[in-house]
Structure 1
Amino acid sequence: MSALIEPLIRQRADPHISRHADGHYYFTASVPQYDRIEVRRAPTIDALADAPVFDVWHKPDTGPYSELVWAPELHFNDGAWYVYFAAAPTRALDHQGMFQHRMYAIRNQAKDPLGGEWEFLGQVDSGIDSFCLDATTFTHRGQLYYLWAQKDPAIPGNSNLYLAPMKTPWQLGGAPVLLSRPEFDWECRGFLVNEGPSVLQRHGRVFISYSASATDENYAMGLLWADDGADLLDPASWHKSPEPVMRSAPEDSVFGPGHNSFTVTDDPDEVLLVYHARTYTEIEGDPLWNPDRHTFVKPLRWRADGMPVFGLPSRRD
């Protein structure tokens, strides 16, 4: 049996690692204070752990995006750097105790995102005025897409997954399409949640991993997929696994894996799975404010039919 995986970076949730054309890896994640966006760069995955930390944006003291900065992702789209993130207003909860996050973007047009100026572009408006978060982008057949989680007031639960084409890297170019909502038992434990989507295009398919249920030991990862040639904006193009593809490994004391991203090694065919998890369950108070969600990285494996194998969050195989 393979050895246990150790966290790569401690106390960094919602991790996003991408490998840029310059050969370097770039890392962003939620920080425990939820007050800023930080970026790290290193020539290897392992070196990210001790890489210098650059704070590229700080929240204001008051206003519509002044609290709880969540799940930033750094992307290079149309020749510029963008960070997509969610933030809440000064009063983060509404009268029903629900979070009021909206999605925002900042841009850096310099070649070096750690040296240029970052510009706040404002809200990425989905056309639905409700709680939303966890945006990511990807390009498929020349079209840039926006993929995120959002609450539909007409659907019971906290969030569903939506997809839309983009007109610019900070503006949608079409109406949102609902791809997935919590429906299985493992998606509805504690809270009814689909969130944290990430995209991988391999083996003639477009895969979307996502996370479900409460952010404690019930947190688990699911999978959607469509054929590469399908219309991604047609919900009928998508298939959904009825079972989670990664869940807690209590035998190894690794709990609540989720909110993943994908990256590659020097071999572009080797995919690495990046995710967060905790190493204990005795959380005091609200799991949201517990800082001990750590960044893990492991190889993604494949079945003979081209479907990904996520395995245990605690072991490489």
Structure 2
Amino acid sequence: MGLSQEATFKNPIRNGADPWVFQKGDHYYYCSSSGGSIAISKSSKLTDHGVFQKVWDAPDQGWNSANIWAPELHFINSHWYIYYAAGKKSGGPFIHQKSGVLKSVGKDPFGPYEDKGMLYTGDDITDPGSVKWAIDLTPFKHEGSLYAIWSGWKIDSETDRTPQHLYIAKMSDPTTISSNRVKISSPEESWETGGELDLNEGPQVLKNKNLTFIIYSTRESWLKDYRLGQLKLKDSTLDPLVPENWIKNGPVFLGNHAVHGVGHCSFAKSPDSSEDWILYHSKKVADPGWNRDIRLQPFKWRVDGSPDFGNPVSLDKRIPVPSGEKE
């Protein structure tokens, strides 16, 4: 039996951070890290992520043996891929993080997966050893070509209190970056700076008809001022590898007195495709720290085609379930 028009839910959806959802067919696939593993769940609902099943364990040693962060599950060219960040040493300072990718052996999102290694995120593609610190890597297709966008450092450092920037590079296939990185955003605007550490991270591609946006997180993830900014490609035919082709705007999603530190989002359509939804995490309390939960709410589009995320919904407000969601 379908839910009535009056069916509602309340945030948060679940505990956790860095929420990822991938929509394929009639199902949503969620991806999460826990300790040294990556897990996936499958659900017909946006409001209920189902039961997570472990699909990969980090190796006992090596560049990706620790600090597994923010995995993303994508379906590209008939295979599933998981993009993630990891380091060679557990705990902080988090100065060893690099980006890697797993590829499904078959066509099952629950694996098994083959570790395809570290992705190149540096300035000299001829020297694999020159790879730079990189997290939150996400792939996207544009005008028939595949690209990767991520958050990185200009140079590797001995402190994790290092500014983070957004970089883009071309991919020859889902497991291979084939060009040097290009910096397309730095934390330079007044709404991106002024705290303990200036950063841009968590980039996500959002498309609306012929418009391409990158929605990203800025300010400090452990503080209440974490928020979302936006880059817009000036024209759908322009080269995304040219920094001048992107226009920055923000903040486009900001916390308030009741909801703190909103960031690291992903997007999906409602089950009947009539609505757009943002999935994001928020701090449970205003005090510094990474105690977070995952929240969900609908958003609209402005006349100019840009997303209008509105304000984060407080925990005491009920929200109508996504259109078409069934029991």
* CA deviation map 1:237-289 (0-9, x unaligned): 11001x31111111x2x110101111112343522111110131234xxx2xx
1:219 matched to 2:250:
no
Q: In structure 2, how many angstroms separate the alpha carbons of the residues matched to 1:219 and 1:146?
A: 23
- What secondary structure is seen at the aligned counterpart in 1 of 2:277? strand
| 2:325 matched residue in structure 1 | none
Report the Cα offset of residue 99 of structure 1: 2.0
The one-letter code matched in structure 1 to 2:20 is H
1:122 maps to 2:78: no
Contact 1:190 1:218 in 2 (8 A): no
Q: Which of the numbers 125, 137, 140 marks the counterpart of 2:142?
A: 140
Alpha-carbon shift at residue 173 of structure 1 (Å) = 2.0
Moved more, 59-68 or 195-204: 59-68
The aligned amino acid for 1:136 is T
For 1:235 and 1:57, locate their aligned partners in 2 and report how far apart those are by CA, in whole Å: 36
Aligned residues: 296
1:121 and 1:170 in contact (8 A); partners too: yes
Q: 1:280 aligns with which of 281, 285, 306?
A: 285
The equivalent position to 1:249 in structure 2, one of 241, 256, 265, is: 256
Counterpart residue number, 1:106: 102
Q: Is the 8 A contact 1:149 1:159 kept in 2?
A: yes
Task: Tell me the CA shift for residue 30 of structure 1.
Answer: 3.9
Equivalent residue letter for 2:184: L
Asked if the contact 2:20–2:30 (Cα under 8 Å) also holds between the matched residues in 1, the reply is yes
Unaligned runs of 5+ in 2: 1-7, 124-130, 321-327
Q: Which moved more, 1:36-45 or 1:274-283?
A: 274-283
What corresponds to 1:201 in structure 2? 207
TM-score, scaled to structure 1: 0.87
CA–CA distance in 2 between the matches of 1:8 and 1:154?
A: 36
- Gap regions ≥5 residues in structure 1: none
Matched, 1:75 2:77: no
Structure-2 residue corresponding to 1:19:
23
- The code of the aligned residue for 1:260 comes to C
Change (3 A) 1:4 1:311: farther
1:236 counterpart SS class: helix
Residue type of the alignment partner of 2:238? A
1:179 and 1:154 map into 2 onto residues whose CA distance is: 18
The answer to whether the 8 Å contact 1:4/1:314 transfers is no
Within the candidate set 232, 239, 254, 2:240 is matched to: 232
Determine the C-alpha separation between the residues in 1 that align with 2:275 and 2:178. Answer: 33
Aligned residue number for residue 192 of structure 2: 187
Deviation at 1:159, TM superposition (A): 1.1
Q: Does the 8 Å CA contact 1:274/1:295 hold for their aligned counterparts?
A: yes
1:40 matched residue in structure 2? 41
How does the TM-score come out when normalised to structure 2? 0.84
Q: Which amino acid aligns with 1:27?
A: Y
- Match of 2:51? 52
Asked if structure 1 preserves the Cα contact closer than 8 Å seen for 2:45 and 2:271, the reply is no
Q: Secondary structure at the match of 2:310?
A: coil
In the alignment, the residues of structure 1 paired with residue 302 and residue 191 of structure 2 have an alpha-carbon distance, to the nearest angstrom, of 23
For 1:297 and 1:37, how far apart are their aligned partners in 2?
22
Secondary structure in structure 1 of the residue aligned to 2:69: strand
Alpha-carbon distance between aligned partners in 2 of 1:54 and 1:148, rounded to the nearest angstrom: 26
Shift in alpha-carbon separation, 1:266–1:98, aligned structure 2, 3 A: closer
Maintained 8 Å contact 2:133/2:156: no
In 2, the alpha carbon distance for the partners of 1:6 and 1:221 equals 19
- Structure 1's 13 and 30: CA in aligned 2 closer, same or farther, altered over 3 A? farther
Equivalent residue letter for 1:281: A
Q: Secondary structure at the match of 1:14?
A: coil
Aligned partners of 2:304 and 2:152: how far apart in 1?
A: 32
Displacement, 1:5?
Answer: 4.8
d(CA) in 2 for partners of 1:301, 1:73: 24
**% identical aligned pairs:** 32
Report the 3-state secondary structure (helix = DSSP H, G, I; strand = E; otherwise coil) of the residue aligned with 2:40.
Answer: strand
